[in-house]
Amino acid sequence: MPSAALFISFFQLVTILGSALTVLKLLTSGLYRRYRIFFGYFIFRIPVMTGGLILRHMKGLRGGDGVSSWAYFYLFYYSEPLLVLGYTLVVIELYSLVLERYKGLYTLGRWVMYGAVVVSASISVLTLLPKLGPSLPEPSKRLMYEIAAERGVFLALVIFILLIVWFLTRYPVPLSRNVVVHTVIYSVFFLCEALGLLWRTLLGFNVTATYSVVSTAISSACAVAWCILLSARGEEVRVQTPVRPLSEERILQQLDDLNRTLLKISRK
């Protein structure tokens, strides 16, 4: 029976190929102009994942083989903050697409998210300080700071993504099929990444093989889903949450009123 490491490598390879095909599809369909941050995130993510997959199987490296090597450590150390920044910017872009017609709500929500990310990351780092002993090597200490800040950012983004999903189920805002598909897939993808970080935090980097297989499998499924489901035609098809006609009119009127109020406040 194939080992867990072989399954992980296979799903990582599928993720890389799915991501590359998604980039190609965004280019050929012209959708990269509308999903600029998402497109740029994939452009960065593909070589990082490829480098990690190659290093995972290399032997005789300084510090050890594969994930134990210094090369793998520094790849993770320097790329992870940029990936976390990418996660954040993609969420902001997703939020702007969902609230495209409601600039007042978007402006307020964006600043709330910025504040929540900064506060959550700062608290996470501060709670780590008492646990760092003076004998801890500096590279390990910096990595722990990074993971703590990442944990705080992920917590804020998870809450924000759940709010976006709640908004879509509560308000019958007409959206393109691509935006709805992208929201659903990214929500699954990011929540899986957040659970992976929580798992690493609780159990360390030597996480169980079963969870690693499941996590990489979900990631690969999301990459393939983006490639298959996003399309130029998906920008033209409008979908919305089904609600009763009377409720829809009342809810949308409330949303319009709130948006106008926020726009007036932001212009003062």
Burial class (CB in 10 A: 0-12, 13-18, 19+), 205: exposed
Percentage of the chain beyond pLDDT 70 is 78
Give the model's pLDDT for residue 16.
94
Q: Alpha carbon of 41 to those of 9, 50, 85, 88: distances in Å?
A: 21, 14, 9, 10
Q: With 80 as the cut, is the pLDDT of residue 251 above it?
A: no
Amino acid identity at 207:
V
Q: Which residue has the tokens 């393109």?
A: 176
**Does the reported pTM lie above 0.85?**
no
Give the model's pLDDT for residue 1.
46
* Mean pLDDT value across the chain: 80
**255 or 71, which is more confident:** 71
Which tens digits make up the pLDDT trace of 58-117? 888 887 877 778 888 888 888 988 998 999 999 999 988 888 877 777 777 778 888 888
Which tens digits make up the pLDDT trace of 105-152? 777 777 888 888 888 878 777 776 666 666 666 666 777 777 778 888
Q: Report the number of distinct structural domains present in the chain.
A: 1
Strand partners, 175: 239
Q: Which structural domain range is residue 194 located in?
A: 4-267
